[in-house]
Amino acid sequence: MPDNSRLQRHVGLAIAYSAWKFYESTGEIGYLVEEGAELIIQIARFVASLATHDDTTDRYDIAGVMGPDEFHDGYPDAPGEGLRNNAYTNVMAAWVMLRAVDVVNVLSPRYADQMWNRIRLRPGEVKQWRLIGSRLRVPFHADGVISQFEGYERLKEFDWAGYRARYGAIGRLDLILAAEGDTS
């Protein structure tokens, strides 16, 4: 089974989340100045660079990702090419971009010179993070439930009964499917 973990953008997002939570829990501004701010801002820059604007809906999309379920790495007709608008990835990306805005607000103006020389904050970046973070698409099913990713509801239902009949315990379904060469 091919390893497409390179498409997992949510890992960096989780690191940024931890950095912000550490600052929030401790109130250590020194941590934010020395390490946390740069980490959060660079991750916000990265995910903002992945987002593309849809003029029709005035939303932003992130395509070509693999979510944290570590199994859906693409659509049935394009395995390994990533998914479009993975809910977890997009929610966390929006969160990180909005926390990057918060970081700038917390550190301005007292720590601005110390930080912005190192991070090289560009004109319009904060505005861009705020815009993308508030307009990033999160897919929903028709009944209002968040969809795992765009197109999830069109996937064929898994044959749970058939696999239980063939294998009994399917607690490690990932290994069963990998042994069968099934990545869809």
Structure confidence by residue, pLDDT tens digits, 51-75: 999 999 999 999 999 999 877 899 9
Q: Is residue 174 part of a domain?
A: no
Name the residue range of residue 27's domain: 5-157
**Is 70 annotated in the active site?**
yes
Q: Which residues contact 41 (CB under 8 A, 6 or more apart)?
A: 100, 103, 104, 119, 121
Query: What angle is formed at CA 143 by the lines to CA 141 and CA 144, rounded to 5 degrees?
Result: 70
CATH of the domain at 11: 1.50.10.10
pLDDT at 6: 81
| Tens of pLDDT, residues 75-101 | 999 988 999 999 999 999 999 999 999
Q: Is residue 56 part of a domain?
A: yes
Task: Give the residue-averaged pLDDT of 171-175.
Answer: 85
Task: Give the residue-averaged pLDDT of 102-124.
Answer: 87
* Among 156, 161, 98, 167, CA closest to 126: 98
Confidence of residue 5 (pLDDT cuts 50, 70, 90): confident
Average model confidence (pLDDT) for the chain?
A: 92
| Tens of pLDDT, residues 115-143 | 778 889 888 999 999 999 999 999 999 99
Q: Which of 70, 125, 153, 157 is catalytic?
A: 70
Asked if pLDDT for residue 183 goes beyond 70, the answer is: no
Asked if pLDDT for residue 184 goes beyond 80, the answer is: no
Q: Is residue 39 part of a domain?
A: yes
Q: Is residue 30 part of a domain?
A: yes
* Among 76, 104, 94, 79, CA closest to 10: 94
Whole-angstrom Cα Rg for the chain: 20
* Among 76, 59, 50, 99, CA closest to 152: 76
Asked if pLDDT for residue 32 goes beyond 60, the answer is: yes
Asked if pLDDT for residue 1 goes beyond 70, the answer is: no
Q: Is residue 122 part of a domain?
A: yes
pLDDT at 114: 77
Q: Do 10 and 92 form a contact (C-beta atoms < 8 A)?
A: yes
Q: Is residue 170 part of a domain?
A: no
7 DSSP assignment: G
Structure tokens at 25: 């829990």
Q: For the chain, how many structural domains are there in total?
A: 1
The fraction of the chain above a pLDDT of 70, given in percent, is 98
Classify residue 98 by burial, with Cβ atoms within 10 Å: 0-12, 13-18, 19+: middle
Q: Is residue 162 part of a domain?
A: no
